[in-house]
Chain A
Amino acid sequence: MQNNQNDVYEVFVQKSHAEQHQHVGSLIAPSPDMAVQMARENFLRRDHAVNLWVVPQSQVTSSTYGGRFFAREMDRGYREVKGYTENGRLWRMFREKVMTLEEIVAFVEEKERGETEGGER
């Protein structure tokens, strides 16, 4: 089959090893290899990245916009941190402070910022 049309590729950039690939846009290219080259030229003239994916647009299965698929029938505070803000007040009644995940991560990785979050012992 003669190929005289460029395919559309969706482009995903991984900015660092700590991050997942993120969709940044699309481009047209005559082949997957060329799409990778062009993705670098189109999307990474300034930003640093460690990896690129290009995916033929025809291979993308998508949901629709709107409709019931993303509907939120009720408040989801019960599964979010912001649903538990009273913890801070309750801990103070026991002369303790609320703990955050960021604090734990910094503590475990020994990257604490001064005494701002401690207070124990």
Chain B
Amino acid sequence: MTEEKQYASFMERIRAGEKIEATDWMPIEYRKLLIKLIHMHAVSEIMGAYPEKEWVPRAPSLRRKLAIMAKVQDEMGHGQLLLRVVEDLSAPLGRTREELVSDIYHGKVKFHNVFHMEARTWADAGVIGWLVDGAAIINQASLLETSYGPYARVLKRICAEESFHMQHGENIILALAMGTDAQRQSLQTALDYWWESLLFFFGPQEVTPAAKQMMHYQIRLKTNEELRQKFLDKYVPRIQSLGLTIPDLSLRYDDSQKKWRYQAPDWHKFSQIVTQNKGPKSEERMLLRKKAHEDQQWVREAMRNHNISISSAL
């Protein structure tokens, strides 16, 4: 079959809503878009564990400590599942796990703006658990119907685990919202700090050429703006019900347009954070990731080169 015919029958499958599998023929553009998207997703899971891990030693109770540690484990686990998907896609291009991981600290792969930010207080940790995760859940839920089968299946598992994350984040927030004046104030301060980041999280309002191609191939089915609107739909009423003030006086629901009107985040500032790794915590966390990866190199080598049995541990 000629390349042209292969492409035509591939697109026919996409339009019919069929799932593409790792062993199927696929256009190189489709493969590269998937790699770009899922690699960033995987790396965001891994770097997303950092702001919360910083609160493991400082969590206010043993139960909170166990729960936030469980979340950190989940995020790292999600990173592992997603990296496996990228690895299979990257194999024909000769790229291995080693590079996919070291790309993080070589600045060759981006991760979400929110994970460049600082978790300064327990309320920040709570807002990350509730709203940053909430935004991530909206995004991941929208990808469940992606045309790439292996990604769809991994997302299904990730989303199932996210349902604990949702309840966990809400529980921290509810406890603070019902707490002392100082706790309520720290919650408001956290919301003020994270709000712009949360809006930016969904990406630019315009549909970029890459996003357009992703929709063409049904890798993703919703635009950034559609997802941001859905986030606002679900979360604005809940934020307000807690008595919190959203730091955007222009925010309102436009009944005639059926859309939220909001003050756009500083696109330039946040895209600098993501593309140049210029956020408050970017450098520190990337160095930690580099150290973790390089310091454990000898362990990986030892495991590969010596037939180490762990059966006594079973």
- Which residues of A approach B to under 8 Å, CB–CB? 17-20, 51, 63-64, 67, 69, 76, 78-81, 83-84, 86-87, 90-91, 93-96, 98-102, 104-105, 107-109, 120-121
B142 sits at the interface (CB 8 A)? yes
CB contacts under 8 Å to A, within B143-159, are: 144-145, 149, 152-153, 156, 159
A104 near B234: Cβ-Cβ < 8 Å: yes
Give the Cβ gap from A36 to chain B, nearest Cβ, in Å: 14
Complexed CA–CA distance, A43 and B155 (Å):
28
What size tier do the contact residues of chain B reach?
35 or more
**B93 part of interface (Cβ distance < 8 Å):** no
Task: Provide the residues of chain A in CB contact with B168, threshold 8 Å.
Answer: 84
B238 CB–A CB distance under 8 Å: yes
19 A-B pairs besides A81-B164, A84-B170, A90-B171 with CB distance below 8 A are: A18-B19, A18-B149, A18-B153, A51-B21, A67-B314, A78-B70, A79-B164, A84-B167, A87-B171, A91-B241, A93-B178, A94-B174, A94-B243, A100-B166, A104-B137, A104-B141, A105-B144, A109-B145, A120-B233
Q: Decide: B174 and A101 in contact? CB cutoff 8 A.
A: no
In the complex, whether B177 has a CB less than 8 A from a CB of chain A is yes
**7 chain-A/chain-B pairs, Cβ below 8 angstroms:** A17-B149, A18-B153, A79-B67, A96-B238, A99-B170, A101-B160, A108-B222
Question: Smallest Cβ distance from B233 to chain A, in angstroms?
Answer: 7
Q: Closest Cβ of chain A: how far from B215's Cβ, in Å?
A: 15
With a CB–CB cut-off of 8 A, which chain A residues contact B56?
A: none
Closest 6 CB pairs of A and B: A17-B19, A84-B167, A79-B70, A101-B163, A108-B141, A90-B174
Asked if A63 contacts B314 (CB within 8 A), the reply is: yes
**With a CB–CB cut-off of 8 A, which chain B residues contact A91?**
170, 174, 238, 241
Q: Does B253 contact A (CB under 8 A)?
A: yes
Residues of A within 8 A of B152 (CB): 17-18
Query: Across the interface, do A69 and B153 meet the contact criterion of CB distance under 8 Å?
Result: no
Assembly CA distance A80 to B67 (angstroms): 9
Chain B residues with Cβ below 8 Å from A100 are 163, 166
Assess whether B138 is interfacial by the CB under 8 Å rule: yes
CB proximity of B117 to chain A, nearest CB, Å: 23
Is there an interface contact between B234 and A107, defined as CB atoms closer than 8 Å? yes
Q: What residues on B are CB-neighbors of A94 within 8 Å?
A: 174, 177, 241-243
Question: A79-B164, A90-B178 are known contacts. Are A105 and B70 too (CB-CB below 8 A)?
Answer: no
Closest to B165 in A: A101
| A121–B159 touching, CB < 8 Å | no
Please tell me if B162 contacts chain A, counting CB pairs below 8 Å. Answer: yes
CB-CB under 8 A from B167, the residues of chain A are 81, 83-84, 87, 98
